[in-house]
Amino acid sequence: MQEINSLISSFIKELDYEPILQMYERISTGKMLRSKLIMAIAGSSENAINLCAIVEMIHLASLLHDDVIDEADTRRGTPSINALYGTKDAVMLGDVLYSKAFSKLSGFAPEISNKISNAVAGLSVGELMDVRLGDGFSVDVEAYWRMIYLKTAILIEASAYSAAVLAGFDADKFGVYGKSLGLAFQIIDDVLDITQSSEVLGKPALNDFSEGKTTLPYIYLYERLGESDKERLKSLYKKSLSYDEVMWLKKVMRESGAINECVNRAKTLAAEALEAISEYKNEKLQSIIKNMIDREF
């Protein structure tokens, strides 16, 4: 992962403007799931490492813009770039990262460059859908699935697909793995927002609902509540919650079975991901799934 980060730094140095590097260095690195996936499929060839750097730059750019859109002050437990430098710099740093990534992507075969660039277009549509869905309380489960596929899973799908092209494997099968992994990952992220503390999350807990995101646990919860509790839930939408409201929400999320149902959906998707690539017996891909699923919720 260190090699990938150094490569990104060297791409940024090619731009020959010190403030960009300074700002880039203030971004805290995440789990680098997409790179782990690419390397688990395609190994550590020069092409694979370049692809990792490209995908991480696109992902970082999307998070910089997302933090502006969500007006988020923290990312991964540290101040967001918009909090440190203001929204203008955060938007422009995002622009620099993804345009440099595309310039490097143009050196790849069309099958890969098309897949990744189409995924980024999808990513942007997904973010727009997410913002639109945030206009009001929404329990439209089909809209939720479509939005999380585009916002989260499509770039993971394209990463796995492209890595398989590099390795000469059946890319469609790895695409299915990536898509199912991506969907499961987003559901788990939505569950952890409710069940974990802000210290563990590195951002405020129970943040999604107050940001206007009616995620899958809230959709399942709504379906399970009686009429008066349904109204109570709706009344908490986009509110900053009191201690009693937090306790009520956490209690009904567990007692209604909404959390369990989400975890089960994520586990089913994880099993589908593994099934798609079972013939390859790739232990690293198996452990990526296991690390995501085998935990306390």
Binding site for ligand FPP (CB under 6 A): 58, 61-62, 65-66, 70, 72, 94, 98, 120, 123-124, 127, 151-152
What binding mask, one character per residue, do residues 50-79 give for Mg ion by CB under 5 A, x or -? ----------------x---x---------
Cβ distance to ligand FPP smaller for residue 123 or 269: 123
Say which entry of ligand FPP, Mg ion, none residue 98 contacts (CB below 5 to 8 A, set by partner kind): ligand FPP
Cβ distance to Mg ion smaller for residue 34 or 115: 34
Work out the number of other CB atoms within 10 angstroms of the CB of residue 182. 27
Say which entry of ligand FPP, Mg ion, none residue 127 contacts (CB below 5 to 8 A, set by partner kind): ligand FPP
Contact 107, 51 (CB under 8 A): no
DSSP string, 89-122: HHHHHHHHHHHHHHHHHTTS-HHHHHHHHHHHHH
First to last CA, the chain: 27
E strand or H helix at 78: strand 78-79
What binding mask, one character per residue, do residues 85-104 give for Mg ion by CB under 5 A, x or -? --------------------
Instruction: Determine if 208 is a binding residue for Mg ion (CB under 5 A).
Output: no
Instruction: Determine if 193 is a binding residue for Mg ion (CB under 5 A).
Output: no
Cβ distance to Mg ion smaller for residue 56 or 208: 208
Cβ distance to ligand FPP smaller for residue 174 or 209: 209
289, 28, 85, 51: which is closest to 166 by C-alpha? 51
Residues that bind Mg ion (CB under 5 A): 66, 70
